[in-house]
């Protein structure tokens, strides 16, 4: 699936930057205690900066972005990034991803800090979203 999406999978693991002594076969993610839930429209106020929570499903059902409207900065997580977009995971939804792409195209962003790959501006956001929509809606 990763190769079909456009990732170079010549290495045995998807991520090659690992700490010394890391053993992929014995690694497991430890859960943390839930503090509270966040959802669409909630505001995370850091004092000198506030982020609105945007629900951006498609890649996964619970994907969110954090939108700083005053600085026009989006932290997009895995909703959009400048690389092959993964939409065929077990709980991905191409239909929801298309709605998310349309929503992202309408945001007046200056910069997008994504969960993967380098940051980019509004023009690149619109290019990536339009390309995704063209590929999936035809």
Q: What is the pLDDT of residues 61-84, one digit of tens each?
A: 999 999 999 999 999 999 999 988
- Tell me the pLDDT band of 15, cut-offs 50, 70 and 90: low
* Domain-embedded: residue 1: no
User: Which pTM does this prediction carry?
Assistant: 0.79
Residues in CB range of 2: below 8 A, 6 or more apart: 9, 14, 86
Distance spanning both ends of the chain, measured CA to CA: 21
Give domain status of residue 21, yes or no: no
* Within a domain: 89: yes
Average pLDDT rounded to a whole number, residues 49-61: 95
Confidence check: pLDDT of 17 > 70: no
If residue 120 lies in a helix (H) or strand (E), which one and from where to where? strand 120-121
Instruction: Judge whether residue 6 has pLDDT over 90.
Output: no
Number of compact structural domains in the chain: 1
Residue 113 lies in a domain: yes
The answer to whether residue 18 sits within a structural domain is no
CATH of the domain at 67: 3.60.15.10
The verdict on residue 112 lying in a domain is yes
CB-based burial, 50-68: b 16+ in 10 Å, e otherwise: ebebbbbbbbbeebbbbbb
Instruction: Identify the domain containing residue 86 by its residue range.
Output: 37-136
pLDDT at residue 13 is higher than 70: no
Q: Is residue 128 part of a domain?
A: yes
Residue 75's DSSP bridge partners are 66, 113
Sequential DSSP letters for 37-90: ---TT-EEE-SS-EEEEEE--SSSTT-EEEEETTTTEEEEETSS-SSPPP--ST
């Amino acid at each position: 699936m990763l190769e079909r999406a456009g990732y170079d999978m010549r290495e045995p693991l998807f991520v090659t930057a690992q700490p010394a002594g890391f053993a992929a076969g014995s690694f497991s993610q430890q859960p943390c205690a839930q503090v509270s839930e966040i959802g669409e429209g909630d505001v995370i106020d850091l004092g000198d900066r506030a982020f609105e929570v945007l629900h951006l499903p498609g890649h996964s059902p619970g994907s969110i972005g954090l939108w700083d409207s005053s600085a026009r900065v989006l932290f997009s997580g895995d909703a959009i990034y400048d690389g092959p977009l993964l939409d065929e995971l077990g709980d991905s939804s191409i239909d929801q991803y298309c709605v998310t792409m349309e929503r992202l195209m309408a945001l007046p962003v200056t910069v997008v800090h994504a969960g993967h790959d380098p940051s980019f501006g509004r023009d690149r956001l619109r290019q990536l979203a339009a390309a995704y929509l063209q590929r999936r809606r035809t």
